[in-house]
Structure 1
Amino acid sequence: MFDSKQIFTIQSEEDFQKTTLEVFRYQAQENEVYKNFLNFLKVDYTTISHTDEIPFLPIQFFKKNDIISGERAVEKVFTSSGTTGMATSKHLVTDLALYHYSLEKCFEQFYGPLSDYTIFALLPSYLERNGSSLIDMVEYWIEKSNNPQSGFYLYNHDELHENLLAHEKTGKKAILIGVSFALLDFVENYKMNLKNTIVMETGGMKGRKKEITREELHSILKEGFGTNEIHSEYGMTELLSQAYSRGDLTFKTPSWMRILIRETEDPFRYVPEGKTGGVNVIDLANYNSISFIATDDLGKKIKPNQFEILGRFDHSDIRGCNLMIVES
């Protein structure tokens, strides 16, 4: 019997290959949408012997299909943001505890225990709608921080400014996580000199401001917050794990998540490290939905667990997270 939590014990490439193939075989049999997709491609799942051979489900399938592996009941539905009339993705989560376990273990890999931090969240566009996986994630961060000073801020920038300054004086660690346009709005009116607070952007202009490159965004935010670096989170409705950038504009994945870069014209071929292509994501925390997703993001891999996000395919819908234009 496969224990889904064993994905978080991966220590080596051999572990990753073995566990990933187990998950693939399970989903090829227990996920009706994926099973039909494999049949359409005339792929016999029993012949797949390496992760590079696994077909990835296009992310658009989350818009019109219920992507579920197994027979567990749905506990929560995460939905993507979108403009009026636009079809949005929905991720049916049948094991919310597994998602929370994943996001906590992921955070710990990069930052240590959540209890070490006070969490300040500036996520107005996400807080104002239902079904955001990002809001669920940050709510869990706040709960696990076990700190009465942790909390969400909508448009009350004055209060956020005062609380950040007060917290800085304690010398304790904090994280300010915010959607890009809200962080830009904040630094237009406040200049700070944060020494103990990590500023983390989640992407997203949502048509509120002119699109800019991530480099430009980070430059403005570093000057406004008085920090040497801006961190970033890479996640999406369809994933239950996150990748993080600690200030160098490249993202790193936890041990149970992997990025592959496909050719833009041939989705079944991969490009070498350093070359730009479409981003495929293996997220083993998606055990109860689908762990193999071909996204609409453009990126390039730097190392096996390190990558850059450079933009999106022109035909893909505009979405809230990590929308940055491609540099010419």
Structure 2
Amino acid sequence: MDLEKRVFAARDGQFEDLALDLFQFQYYNNPVYHQYCNLLKADPDTVDVLEQIPFLPISFFKTHHIAATDFEPELIFESSGTTATVNSKHLVKDAALYTQSFMQGFERFYGKVDRRCILGLLPSYLERNNSSLVYMVDELIKQSHHPLSGFYLYDLEKLHRTILHNEILKQPTLLIGVTYALLDFAEKFPMQLRHTIVMETGGMKGRREELTRQQVHRQLQEKLGVHLVHSEYGMTELLSQAYSKGDGIFHCPAWMKVLTREEDDPFAVHLPAAESEKPLTGALNIIDLANIYSCSFIATSDMGRLYSNGSFEVLGRLDNSDIRGCSLLAV
């Protein structure tokens, strides 16, 4: 449809118009979002700026069928969790739409993927089905066309040999991994990397003591000899990712934007003034224009700091991850 073409062709200055058009589309085609907007008395005829668009609490993906239009999903992504928790489910109408989003997003920040060897260290994700992160990394591995690209489940020795081989050949390499697995690897096989980007995706998954991002990066820098540790910010409920190249500051692709909301008033949403030197601190709301057939306007359970250029950093989780306002819709 026309929206799909417009999302990835959007230029500076077109984001707000496209977001408002997408809001209209999802209001009329996503029953859960439609009901939520009505309860907030958000009339699509009067919503004319980003801050007025209602953001759906992310926990609704655990309790409701979130879909714009009626379709049979090609993919169903599911969040990680324990047997005692209810996992989020993201119904993806078109797998090609997700692939286009993450491939264009990755190449915007890192260039063509076929210039790199892609090494995935995602054991906890590979051990379960329907991980959006595994789907993304698997496609990056395939598109790299490098014979040594692949997933390394628990074979850290083989991963070590592969990285040493690539370092000797000066082969540009990306090691992307869940935080606890990268720390395990770095402790067992310390080395001095010169041609390898180390990218963490967050998550201790109960395997190690929780650390701040700064502590994690410091340990990886010391053990692996890298000057900077990169990071990926994504989630089951989105089709787009933001990336940090080492300073803990994330940048979004052109079709993704972050806003903040006040923790004690989830409907008070803010964009930073372009000329402001002072960042906004609050809970993070995300607009993901690629999420056409789901919901593009998500109120996350992350706290963060938002800068005037649209970049942001993640400070932690809300004390109560069930965002206030969720009770507006009964399960």
**TM-score normalised by the chain length of structure 2:** 0.93
CA RMSD of superposed structures (Å): 1.1
Partner of 1:125: 124
Q: In structure 1, what is the Cα distance between the partners aligned to 2:5 and 2:209?
A: 42
C-alpha displacement of 1:54: 0.3
The reply to whether residue 234 of structure 1 matches residue 233 of structure 2 is yes
Structure 1 gaps of 5+ residues are 318-328
Kindly indicate whether the alpha-carbon contact (under 8 Å) linking 2:242 and 2:250 is maintained by their aligned counterparts in 1.
Answer: yes
Q: In structure 1, what is the Cα distance between the partners aligned to 2:8 and 2:196?
A: 28
C-alpha displacement of 1:275: 3.1
Partner of 1:25: 24
Q: In structure 2, what is the Cα distance between the partners aligned to 1:305 and 1:140?
A: 28
The within-5 A match list for 1:285-304 is: 285-304=290-309
Kindly indicate whether the alpha-carbon contact (under 8 Å) linking 1:5 and 1:98 is maintained by their aligned counterparts in 2.
Answer: no
Kindly indicate whether the alpha-carbon contact (under 8 Å) linking 2:42 and 2:53 is maintained by their aligned counterparts in 1.
Answer: no
SS in 1 for 2:104: helix
Question: Residue 42 of structure 2 aligns to which amino acid in structure 1?
Answer: V
Partner of 1:278: 283
Partner of 1:215: 214
Partner of 1:106: 105
The within-5 A match list for 1:1-328 is: 2-13=2-13, 15-271=14-270, 272=272, 274-316=279-321
Q: How many residues align?
A: 316
C-alpha displacement of 1:71: 2.5
Q: In structure 2, what is the Cα distance between the partners aligned to 1:202 and 1:172?
A: 22
Kindly indicate whether the alpha-carbon contact (under 8 Å) linking 1:262 and 1:277 is maintained by their aligned counterparts in 2.
Answer: yes
Kindly indicate whether the alpha-carbon contact (under 8 Å) linking 2:3 and 2:22 is maintained by their aligned counterparts in 1.
Answer: no
User: Deviation per CA, 1:115-173, whole angstroms, max 9, x where unpaired?
Assistant: 11110010000000001000000011011111121000011000000000001111121
Kindly indicate whether the alpha-carbon contact (under 8 Å) linking 1:114 and 1:141 is maintained by their aligned counterparts in 2.
Answer: yes
Farther-moved stretch of structure 1 (267-276 vs 31-40): 267-276
Q: In structure 2, what is the Cα distance between the partners aligned to 1:189 and 1:198?
A: 18
Question: Residue 64 of structure 1 aligns to which amino acid in structure 2?
Answer: T
Kindly indicate whether the alpha-carbon contact (under 8 Å) linking 1:173 and 1:197 is maintained by their aligned counterparts in 2.
Answer: yes
Q: In structure 2, what is the Cα distance between the partners aligned to 1:130 and 1:156?
A: 20
User: Deviation per CA, 1:226-247, whole angstroms, max 9, x where unpaired?
Assistant: 1100000000000000000000
Q: In structure 1, what is the Cα distance between the partners aligned to 2:235 and 2:48?
A: 28
C-alpha displacement of 1:270: 3.2
C-alpha displacement of 1:206: 0.9
**TM-score normalised by the chain length of structure 1:** 0.94
Q: In structure 2, what is the Cα distance between the partners aligned to 1:163 and 1:146?
A: 15
Q: In structure 2, what is the Cα distance between the partners aligned to 1:147 and 1:186?
A: 22
Kindly indicate whether the alpha-carbon contact (under 8 Å) linking 1:258 and 1:304 is maintained by their aligned counterparts in 2.
Answer: no
SS in 2 for 1:239: coil
Q: In structure 1, what is the Cα distance between the partners aligned to 2:2 and 2:80?
A: 34
Q: In structure 2, what is the Cα distance between the partners aligned to 1:46 and 1:143?
A: 45
Kindly indicate whether the alpha-carbon contact (under 8 Å) linking 2:303 and 2:317 is maintained by their aligned counterparts in 1.
Answer: yes
Q: In structure 1, what is the Cα distance between the partners aligned to 2:242 and 2:196?
A: 19
Q: In structure 1, what is the Cα distance between the partners aligned to 2:222 and 2:5?
A: 41
Kindly indicate whether the alpha-carbon contact (under 8 Å) linking 1:175 and 1:198 is maintained by their aligned counterparts in 2.
Answer: yes
C-alpha displacement of 1:100: 0.2
User: Deviation per CA, 1:302-328, whole angstroms, max 9, x where unpaired?
Assistant: 2342001000011227xxxxxxxxxxx
Q: In structure 2, what is the Cα distance between the partners aligned to 1:159 and 1:12?
A: 45
C-alpha displacement of 1:258: 0.3
C-alpha displacement of 1:277: 0.7
Q: In structure 2, what is the Cα distance between the partners aligned to 1:73 and 1:286?
A: 16
Structure 1: 4+ residue segments shifted above 3 A: 270-273
C-alpha displacement of 1:3: 3.5
- With over 3 angstroms needed to count, the CA separation of the structure-2 counterparts of 1:85 and 1:237, relative to structure 1, is same
Q: In structure 1, what is the Cα distance between the partners aligned to 2:190 and 2:58?
A: 39
Partner of 1:325: none
Q: In structure 1, what is the Cα distance between the partners aligned to 2:128 and 2:73?
A: 20
SS in 1 for 2:2: coil
